[in-house]
């Protein structure tokens, strides 16, 4: 038997006797806690799914310990720019032991049956014999195929290409450099 429970915004698959780490809960060590956000319960092949949660289903757990996780290193770097930043943090966790899963199966909702719509029977009446005979006697007349004269193809309109303006390059002009005198250098 297992259940899927939402604890502190995350979903966990829990079984009786299993120990899990969840984000830090504000409950003291040794206390029991109940999780009522049960999304799914599986019991001997029978699966009950909540919409979104199962009513009257509770998972009981015991708080074992408040611990900190391993250090996670966050390193950022941009090549050739001299940019490097190294940060790290340790996440706070709570260790919870699952004591029991109490799920009450919800009877499935019965969908109301749609009223059966009776389709009106349409009777196809046969054409009178006179019309059939008249249709059989008239031979199909084949008309000789007439070739249509093809109209001369329209010429694609010619696109006018705009001439590019060529800018004349001006020769570079060197500016005279003023020499600094000894007084200005000081």
Q: What is the pLDDT of residues 111-170, one digit of tens each?
A: 444 444 444 455 555 555 555 555 566 666 666 666 666 666 666 666 666 776 666 777
Distance CA 84, CA 9 (A): 33
| DSSP 8-state symbol, 173 | -
Q: pLDDT band for position 185 (50/70/90)?
A: low
Residue 105, pLDDT > 60, answer: no
Q: Is the pTM of this model over 0.75?
A: no
**Nearest alpha carbon to residue 64 among 34, 23, 128, 21:** 21
| pLDDT for res 186 | 60
66 touches 92 (CB < 8 A): yes
| pLDDT for res 86 | 98
**Candidate ranges 61-65, 103-107, 117-121, 164-168; pick with highest mean pLDDT:** 61-65
| pLDDT for res 142 | 66
Distance CA 104, CA 59 (A): 11
| pLDDT for res 178 | 72
């Amino acid at each position: 038997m297992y259940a899927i429970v939402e604890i502190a915004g995350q979903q966990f698959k829990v079984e009786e006797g299993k120990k899990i780490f969840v984000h830090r809960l504000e409950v003291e060590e040794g206390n029991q806690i109940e999780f009522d956000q049960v999304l799914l319960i599986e019991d001997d092949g029978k699966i009950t799914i909540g919409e979104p949660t199962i009513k009257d289903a509770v998972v009981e757990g015991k708080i074992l310990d408040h611990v900190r996780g391993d250090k996670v290193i966050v390193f950022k770097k941009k090549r050739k720019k001299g940019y490097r930043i190294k940060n790290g943090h340790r996440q706070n966790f709570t260790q919870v032991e699952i004591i029991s899963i109490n799920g009450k199966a919800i009877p499935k909702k019965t969908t109301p049956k749609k009223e059966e719509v009776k389709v009106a029977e349409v009777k196809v009446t046969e054409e009178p014999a006179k019309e059939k005979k008249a249709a059989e006697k008239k031979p199909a007349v084949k008309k000789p195929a007439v070739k249509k004269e093809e109209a001369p193809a329209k010429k694609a309109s010619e696109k006018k290409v705009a001439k590019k303006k060529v800018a004349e390059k001006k020769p570079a002009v060197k500016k005279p450099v003023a020499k600094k005198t000894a007084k200005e250098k000081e």
